[in-house]
């Protein structure tokens, strides 16, 4: 948890008690290109936008809580974490008017577990990181919990893949998260 990020959001009027109602919104440069999320992220809460400084994922790990099995439906207490990440992914795809393939989501989630503070050529990666950083700024999350959640998302994208170029993960999961 990051008290500074919480204070920034609260000062901007964002309610931090419901992370599942937040997502990291896409920002554009003057040439209409996506600006990857850096130290600062644009957070959307309904129609409200706020900017917040976020620490790297590795600096936000708290404690050593062991997650339960996510082999089936994850326990309810983890749903806000999943929803914030998936809402950010859905919002990104809607904003850029490009649906990433199941294979690309699978790759990005795998990369996020392996290199949580790394970079990627696909700007969506920085938005997935931003979503994780935002959630972990609001709630205590251990490294094991982070890895379990992101690996479960990786498995979900992999499970939905039926062929090269399929977008079933977006159509079956993400589209419903924002009502896209």
pLDDT 10s digits, 36-85? 999 999 999 988 899 999 999 999 999 999 999 888 888 899 999 999 99
- 111-116 long-range contacts (CB < 8 A, ≥24 apart) are 112/150, 113/147, 113/150, 113/151, 113/154, 116/56, 116/57, 116/58, 116/146
Beta bridge partners of 35: 27
Domain containing residue 64: 3-176
Predicted pLDDT of residue 67:
93
Contact 80, 168 (CB under 8 A): no
Report the chain's mean pLDDT, rounded to a whole number. Answer: 91
Nearby residues of 176 by Cβ (< 8 Å), 6 or more positions away: none
d(CA 2, CA 99): 32
* Residue 60 Cα to chain centre, angstroms: 15
pLDDT of 162 above 90? no
Q: What is the CA radius of gyration of the chain?
A: 15
Q: What is the pTM of this model?
A: 0.93
Q: How many domains in the chain?
A: 1
């Amino acid at each position: 948890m990051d008290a500074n990020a919480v204070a920034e959001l609260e000062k901007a009027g964002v309610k931090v008690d419901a992370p599942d109602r937040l997502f990291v919104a896409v920002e554009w440069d003057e040439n209409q290109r996506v600006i990857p999320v850096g130290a600062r992220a644009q957070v959307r809460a309904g129609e409200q936008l706020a900017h917040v400084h976020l620490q790297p994922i590795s600096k936000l790990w708290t404690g050593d809580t062991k997650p339960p099995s996510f082999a089936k439906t994850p326990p309810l207490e983890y749903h806000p974490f999943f929803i914030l990440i998936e809402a950010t992914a859905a919002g990104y795809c809607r904003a850029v008017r490009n649906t990433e393939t199941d294979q690309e989501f699978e790759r990005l989630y795998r990369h996020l577990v392996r290199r949580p503070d790394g970079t990627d050529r696909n700007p969506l990666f920085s938005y997935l990181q931003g979503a994780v950083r935002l959630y972990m700024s609001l709630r205590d999350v251990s490294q094991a919990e982070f890895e379990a959640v992101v690996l479960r998302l990786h498995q979900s994208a992999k499970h939905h893949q039926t062929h090269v170029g399929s977008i079933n993960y977006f159509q079956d999961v993400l589209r419903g998260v924002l009502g896209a």
